[in-house]
Amino acid sequence: MWYYVENGQQAGPVSNEQLAELYQQGRINDDTLVWQAGQKDWLPYREFKNSTATSGTAAGAQTDEVVCAECGKIFPASETIRHGNVNVCAECKPIFLQKLAEGARIETGSLNLAGIGTRFAAVFIDGILLFVVNMVVNVIGGLSMGQAVGVEPKTAALAAQLVLMAINIAIGLSYETVMIGKYGATLGKMACKIKVVTADGGKVSYARSLGRYFAKMLSGMICAIGYIMAFFDKEKRALHDHICNTRVVMK
């Protein structure tokens, strides 16, 4: 999301596309100062117009959701107020304004990390859901394949098992990748009110979600040492969180 100067006043936030439309409408020009999270200073729009007119910068794409500087929870940027480099949700606004009035130092918000127990509960719920789905698929698929090729030939039975195993893996992979890539959480995580985010609190892409799925397999190897790591990490990161640079936070 972008902020810009209009008539001597800060305006925004607006998306990449909205900023490009403002330029086309003549409300801003090449010399208009613009700013987005991650920039040190306000800079002329000419330095960014090519990128904002197309797909936008990665930094801009990851500021749709922001971390509240007070409670550490994640909110859409449009539902927060911005002061300097920090965002504050509506619920924390009175406390934040009181701190400003008292001259307190304002710190950048930190992520409200989910507890290990909560994360385990989410994994347990997802495990049950996938187990039920896979059992139904195996029963239906096993009966269908058995009727098609006969249950006696051992090679046919083995082939059927391999096909069903591939289907089960595809279900788990698709479930994790799509849910986290689109919503930031699987059904189990939604039930436990937790979410997977990037290190700066941004949304996890589909590609990173896919990579995280395979990294979780690595975490489960060798007596689940990758998961045990979370107990000793200050940010409660398991091995797959380290590999994909993700965090699990409370919604």
Q: pLDDT by residue (tens digit) across 140-181?
A: 876 665 555 554 556 666 777 788 889 999 999 999 999 999
Whether 78 has a pLDDT exceeding 50, the answer reads yes
* Residue whose entry in the numeric block shows the structure tokens 């911005």: 82
Whether 100 has a pLDDT exceeding 80, the answer reads no
What's the number of CA atoms in the CB half-sphere (13 Å) around residue 203? 21
φ, ψ for residue 36 (rounded to 5)?
-145, 165
Please state the rounded mean pLDDT for residues 92-119: 76
Whether 55 has a pLDDT exceeding 70, the answer reads no
Contact 90, 79 (CB under 8 A): yes
- The pTM of the full predicted model, rounded to 2 decimals, is 0.56
- The pLDDT value given to residue 93: 83
Q: 192-209 pLDDT, tens per residue?
A: 999 999 876 778 999 999
Whether 210 has a pLDDT exceeding 70, the answer reads yes
In this prediction, residue 54 has a pLDDT band, given cuts at 50, 70 and 90, of very low
Contact 178, 185 (CB under 8 A): no
- The pLDDT value given to residue 119: 94
How far apart, in whole angstroms, are the C-alpha atoms of residue 140 and residue 150?
Answer: 15
Whether 43 has a pLDDT exceeding 90, the answer reads no
Cis omega (within 30 of 0) on the bond before 13?
yes
Would you give the DSSP letter of residue 68?
B
Domain boundaries, the chain: 2-102, 116-250
**In the chain, % of residues over pLDDT 70:** 78
